[in-house]
A = this chain, B = another copy of it.
């Protein structure tokens, strides 16, 4: 298997960083939207209901955690999920929270 359960200090550190990135409702919403396909910053800020600079910061957080990646397309920048398992993580979080 790819992932034995060693749980070293560093792996916990990274996992905590990922959890941190997912610990905001707006970012959770962004991840869900991106689960349906690429979106631009302005689309996401409209869907989530925040200003563009704010969304840009949230996306920067998600990117720093390695959860999303960006791609320039003409004058717009389109974001996507790096790993579809992030969506699973979101759903699992909601189940546990339920």
Contact = CB atoms under 8 A, between A and B. Distances in A.
B91 A95 contact: no
A67 interface: yes
Interface in A44-98: 65-67, 83, 85-86, 88-98
Contact of A12 (B9, B14, B29): B29
Interface residues of A, number: 40
28 contacts: A3-B91, A3-B94, A5-B91, A11-B97, A12-B28, A12-B29, A14-B94, A14-B98, A15-B22, A15-B90, A15-B93, A15-B97, A16-B22, A16-B23, A16-B27, A16-B93, A17-B97, A18-B97, A19-B93, A23-B23, A66-B97, A67-B96, A83-B96, A85-B96, A89-B89, A89-B92, A89-B96, A92-B92
